[in-house]
Structure 1
């Protein structure tokens, strides 16, 4: 996808209740994940790295630089995946 290809992902996520987005891109311009997180339902964001193909630091950096609230960062880091896969969540 081009530099604004993430706009298509945002639009698709708005129209498909089974589409989840994550921050892994082979080329991640600054601010892209922040824009996605601002426009997509928070429950539809997962953390993914595509490790072995792309340095995981890129995805981590995209999330860290997004300026997410603590609650949203927790959802992206693990809580959404735990809920999606039906894993037990302990307080």
Structure 2
């Protein structure tokens, strides 16, 4: 299992268009990818659960990746977040 924390810097937080791109990126991988905001969690491959977290600028999320391609998936998701949020 791979896990990392990321603080959102985008002034709009995780909003619809980039959230859709994030979900699309997560769907490329076989691993289970969960995102946590405090005690709440969501499946990173489902846009509604990502949007329901309501992540705002300055808030931290934890991404947990588990599965056959977890190393590759975790690295790709971390890069995607850095470049887009």
Q: Taking structure 2 as the reference length, what is the TM-score of the superposition?
A: 0.32
Ranked by relative contact order (alpha carbons within 8 Å, sequence separation 6 or more), the top structure is 2
The alignment's TM-score, normalised by the length of structure 1, stands at 0.30
